Structure 1
Amino acid sequence: MMIPKLYKYPVLLMLVATTLIGCATTKTEQTTPTVAAEGPTDGVFGPDALKKLTPSCRGDKALNIAFFLNTQNNTFVQAMKSGAEQAAKECNIKLDVFDAKFDTTTQINQIEDAITAGKYTAFVIQPVDSVPIVESAKNAIDHKIIVSVTNSPLGDAADRYPGTITYVGHKEIEVGKQAGQMALDALGEKCGKILIVSGLAASPITQNRTNGFAKNMSRNPNCKIVSDQPADFDEGKAQSVIENLIQAHPDAALVYAHSDNMASGAITALKAAGKQLKVVSVGASEQGLKLIASGEMYGTIYFRPFIQGQLPTVAAAVVARGAAIADIAPYYNDSGNQIITRQNVTDFRAEW
């Protein structure tokens, strides 16, 4: 069955949209949050897209879909898995989930083995590393398998990679710019030395979040990034990184963490050392929102991992049931690129 074409939604509509029952949402009484000037709200808004797509994903015949996660040892990705499982219930899907344990070779082998198995109608891929996975994704497409991508685009694509049906998530260079805007707002004209706690060293997500941040920080010559150390999106590693960095840079003014769990680790290290640096982050975890509300973290960027798991799975099912790829948007923004600070933190609910 063909479904209506989707269009971009105005920002005000985006802010009042709600998701399916059972999924964590922003409150309907939410006021307009701060949005960074350089962080566009492009892409079709994910919660609205779910309302349109879900009725078309259902069918009497069960679909076999494989979901390839980059890891399951991460609360963000666990929320993505829960979203995919919700889609499986709604769309009559037999869902198999594969855990690459943050290893690119493992993920490539998992995808190739799933192609060989010949049982899957569709794949949903959360790449460990966007570039090496491309050939396996192409191989799946050559075998007439529907491919949907989430969390990180394939290859050098900004959104939908050719041959895949969609990308769900964020444009990470813009996420970095938004984090940079928060840092500029937090530090003011005086600015100072900045420490970055990044994710996986080779990951395009990590590179783009840093590059976008650095681009915005360059607007103020008083801002100086003095260190960028990976902590693999791990809270304990982030704590250790900051323990070392504040000894090397005792006069640092701000920490930029690539995820809220790493921000939490950084704040633990800062408190133990009696330091009161500003902290900005990405992800809007439950812990992150608590840290913002208490004043221990300046701000974060709203991500919705449940939708990052649910929506690409629903989209794959819709195409499997007869819709054309042209009826699926090339890019779904899961959360509307919203910045959360202490001024609006009560307007949001975490999904991880």
Structure 2
Amino acid sequence: MPSANRTTIALAVTDGMLHFELALAYEVFGADLTDLIAPWYEVVLCGPNAVRVGRFRLEPDHGLDRLPHADTVIVPGWADVDEAPPADLVDAVRAAHEAGARIASLCTGAFVLAEAGLLDGRRATTHWAHTDVLAARFPQVEVDPDVLYVDNGSVLTSAGKAAAMDLCLHLVRLDHGSAAANTVARRLVVPPHRSGGQAQFVPAPVPTRNDHPLTELFPWVLERLDQPLTVEDLARRARMSSRTLTRHFHAATGTTPLQWLLTQRIRRAQELLETTSHSIDTIAASTGMGTATTLRRHFNRTLGVPPDTYRRTFHATRSDTP
């Protein structure tokens, strides 16, 4: 029976899984971070005997019958969406959901969840190249091809590759708060937050080169969130025009400089609300919002709750030191 604090993560594997999504999930949840975040996750690999994932042969820790005893079950990408996933995997995932486990699919793992009936009447996503197939095969599923991930509470789905990382960090954020998710993101050298509603496909890939024009800008901005930064300030720092900055920014993040900046201010406010007893006015100043009124307006519009309610929900349930 799943526990209340969602500490056990079961990775469901079988022949035909995509190794990238499996490795990504293990890297997020399987690293020993108990010295920083406690209690951290216990990760178990569940599958039918030895399985082949890509070119690798894996020996699972447990059989698929272990899935109903996990708090969260993660189903990595499924390589051949033209083939139905194994019935024993589908049955085990369905049984885990019925037992109360939270189920999350990465990339084309959504086809397993759909086959199990867990997406019926729900909004879901998968890799953009396969959303049409998912929608045609499972018409009872509301397929959204334009988002990174979808959170339905007990059932979550993500788009492909990098979006799978976004969903994994989202789960950490739900379980342990923004500060913990940002700690994991920093360790993995990835952006701390991209909202699930962000478009999953942009004309150019997210740059990873060290010589990219914005490589040094992002950390510079994050160190100055308490300041009233403008697009002109960012452009001046990046040594380019505002128009060129906006073009590079959209290619790198899928959004505008100001929207990205606002998102980072909101995330920093979440961290301070979770980990300190600072007043709303102090947090507003620390995040560059200026006034408590401005912070409350943006916070409520972004997260759906006022900062005071957010603090009562998350600060009181954590052992962070003010």
Q: Normalized per residue, which structure has more strand?
A: 1
Question: Given the two structures, how large is their TM-score scaled by the length of structure 1?
Answer: 0.29
Q: Which has the higher contact order (CA 8 A, sep 6+)?
A: 1
Question: Given the two structures, how large is their TM-score scaled by the length of structure 2?
Answer: 0.31
